[in-house]
Amino acid sequence: PKDIVGSLSPHHTADDLSTPAWNAFKDAFVKKYGYSPSAASEFAYMSMRMILRAITAVNGDVSDKTKLVDAMLKVDLTDTPRGSVALDPTYHAAIENVYIREVTADDKGALYNKGILTVKNVSQFGPYDPTLYMAQPIDDNKYPSDLCADFPADMLSTPNIYEYLPFGK
C-alpha cells in the first residue's frame, strides 16, 4: 500500500544494505532460494556462525555448557552481514547497529525499507543505565496499566548518547 511510503522504522537490517559481507550473503541466498533474504534469515545465519565458532573454540567439546557460553561471548562477530555484533558480557544480548529505515517504492512500485541512518553499537537497554532499566517491573501482560508512564525520573531524562550517521557509514 502506497499509504506507508515514507514511514520510518528502526531495525538491524535494511533492504539496501550494501556491505561486502551483506552482498555475499544476499547473493548466495538468492542463488539458493530464488528470493532476497529476510532479516530472520540473516539472524539465523549469524547465530549459527556464532555457535559454530564457539564450538570450534572449545575444540568440539560442548559437554561443559558454561565453557560453551563463555566461548560464545568471546566469538569475533565483526564480519556479520549486517555489521559488527558483540554479546553483552553481563546480559548476553546483542550489541549491534540499528538502521533507521524509510519505506520507499522502487522504480517498479515495489516497496522496500531503505536505510537512511546508522546508529552504531546499540545494546538492549538503548541509552538507559542497565541497572536502572532492570529494576523496572517485568513488561508482560500482567504489567499494571496504571504504571506504564510511571518511569523513574532518571529514565525520563536520559540524554541521547547515540550519533546518527549517514546510512552505510
Q: What is the pLDDT of residue 161?
A: 75
Question: Is residue 148 over pLDDT 60?
Answer: no
Q: In which region does residue 27 sit, left (phi positive, over 0), alpha (psi from -120 to 50) or beta (all else)? A: alpha
Q: Residue 118, SS3?
A: strand
d(CA 33, CA 89): 35
pLDDT, tens digit (0-9, with 9 covering 90-100), for 74-120:
999 999 999 999 999 999 999 999 999 999 999 999 999 999 999 99
Strand, helix or coil at 114?
Answer: strand
pLDDT at 68: 97
Domain boundaries, the chain: 1-16+82-169, 18-79
The pLDDT score that the predictor gives to residue 127 is: 86
| Residue of higher predicted confidence among 39 and 143 | 39
Distances (CA, A) of 20 to 23, 38, 106, 163, 164: 5, 17, 22, 23, 22
Lookup: cell for 67: 565453557
Please tell me which residue, 92 or 138, carries the higher pLDDT value: 92
How far apart are alpha carbons 107 and 136 in whole angstroms? 47
Q: Which pTM does this prediction carry?
A: 0.81
Residue 166 burial by Cβ neighbours in a 10 Å radius (0-12, 13-18, 19+): exposed
Q: List all residues 6 or more positions away from 138 whose beta carbon is below 8 Å from its beta carbon.
A: none
Share of the chain above pLDDT 90, in %: 70
pLDDT (tens digit per residue) in 22-38: 999 999 999 999 998 99
Listed in sequence order, the DSSP H helices in 34-129 are 39-57, 65-74
